[in-house]
Amino acid sequence: MSFFVKAVVDALKTVSATQCRGSRHEHRLPQLLRHRRAIATERGLVVPVMRNAERLSFAELEQAIGDFARRAKDGKLKPDELEGGTFTITNGGVFGSLLSTPIINRRRTGILGLHTIQSGPWPLQGQVVIRPMMYVALTYDHRLVDGREAVLFLRRVKEVIETPARMLVEI
């Protein structure tokens, strides 16, 4: 998950229109302040806010995700840990989802849905080869983000994920 969090942080910084909150008339965040990641529990889905995600290393992100998951399953998240997010990542792929359309929470810019990785056909140098593939779905509030920015955001996430060595150096 930390690679996707880093990719989303990078894309949010690159395509600044994707990190606003509320309506176009409200302030735009000067930097990525809050990031949400959905966690499934026996009682349902909870979405704690990972604050200052842009400042965390991969190890710190993994530690924070693990801590949130443990405390969410034990019912020990604090109310303030569920408030104030601007963008969400949900990973239905861990349950085998091939593709879905996640719905954004009120006053959020968007949600990125991650799906299962499976082998599939891919064109490469005039041939069709089998490669691991993963679908991602971006749902965004069109009142806040134009389609152009949404596509630029998705393209940036793809670029960052496909070049993980560069991610380690640049982010």
Which pLDDT tens digit goes with each residue over 61-105? 999 999 998 998 898 999 898 888 888 898 888 888 999 998 887
Phi, psi of 49 (to 5 degrees): -95, 120
CA dihedral 161, 109, 56, 89 (to 10 degrees): -60
Q: Identify the pLDDT of residue 120.
A: 94
Provide the annotated active-site residues: 142, 146
Cα dist from 82 to 36, 61, 143, whole Å:
9, 17, 24
Q: What is this structure's pTM?
A: 0.79
Confidence of residue 29 (pLDDT cuts 50, 70, 90): very low
Rounded Cα distance between 160 and 157, Å, is 5
